[in-house]
Chains A and B, each alone.
Chain A
Amino acid sequence: DAGVTQSPTHLIKTRGQHVTLRCSPISGHKSVSWYQQVLGQGPQFIFQYYEKEERGRGNFPDRFSARQFPNYSSELNVNALLLGDSALYLCASSQTVGTANTGELFFGEGSRLTVL
């Protein structure tokens, strides 16, 4: 079975541009979360989506937005890119939300964004 897949793997943008990152969860997983990992630091939580609804949001500006589609795939959008947005963007999926879930998250390989 395929794991979490993300695209593109690498991309370069200039300041002020917009970027869309895509994620396909593991088959059967309905929850998708997004994380930003700046070089040398641990990942920081951006969003969680479950059943197409936002279930959690981290401390990121409104330039960051996301959505989840009926097939549970997800997009992360970042507007008005800043140099500081350069990072590895990770997507994670889990089976469900609720007490029946072990809460284990499975991560994709990430999208490396460089902002010049």
Chain B
Amino acid sequence: KQEVTQIPAALSVPEGENLVLNCSFTDSAIYNLQWFRQDPGKGLTSLLLIQSSQREQTSGRLNASLDKSSGRSTLYIAASQPGDSATYLCAVTNAGGTSYGKLTFGQGTILTVHP
């Protein structure tokens, strides 16, 4: 059974700081890994998708890496801003079959960026 863990559970940083969010998963047979952002009471916004054959993806100030063999992914946020404050969720899709609509999520990291 796939399990996803995110560390830290919460993080508070001053504006402008670079930061790293961590995600680990127990079964390395994944199809892809997605990072999402969730604002309080809202739905999920997809940030980055990394296919199992890829090592990293970048979008603006965000960079996500994937080490499938060790079951780890990191989300790097450069020059953090107060608007980055949200919960960040990591989720994996297991490989095989027709499981592409089934994500296994971590508990999330609550990020607060203070001015």
Contact = CB atoms under 8 A, between A and B. Distances in A.
A109 B45 CA distance: 9
A104 B34 contact: yes
B81 interface: no
A98 to B, nearest CB: 8
A102 to B, nearest CB: 6
Interface string A77-116: 0000000000010101010011001111111111010000
A72 interface: no
Nearest to B49: A104
Main secondary structure of the interface of B (DSSP, over half): strand
A21 to B, nearest CB: 13
B84 to A, nearest CB: 19
B105 A43 contact: yes
Interface residues of A, number: 34
Nearest to A96: B100
A97 B49 contact: no
B101 A97 contact: yes
Contacts of A45: 102-104
Interface residues of B, number: 27
B32 to A, nearest CB: 5
B46 interface: yes
A105 B103 contact: yes
A106 B47 CA distance: 10
B93 A42 contact: no
Interface of B: 4, 31-32, 34, 36, 41-46, 49, 51, 89, 91, 93, 98-108
Given A33-B102, A43-B89, A105-B101, 8 more contacts: A31-B100, A42-B105, A42-B106, A42-B108, A58-B102, A98-B98, A103-B49, A105-B46
Interface of A: 4, 6, 31-33, 35, 40-45, 48, 50, 55-56, 58, 88, 90, 92, 94, 97-98, 101-110, 112
29 contacts: A31-B100, A41-B107, A41-B108, A42-B89, A42-B91, A42-B105, A45-B104, A48-B99, A56-B98, A56-B99, A56-B101, A88-B41, A90-B43, A90-B44, A94-B100, A94-B101, A97-B100, A98-B98, A98-B100, A101-B100, A103-B32, A103-B51, A104-B34, A104-B49, A105-B34, A105-B46, A107-B43, A108-B43, A109-B42
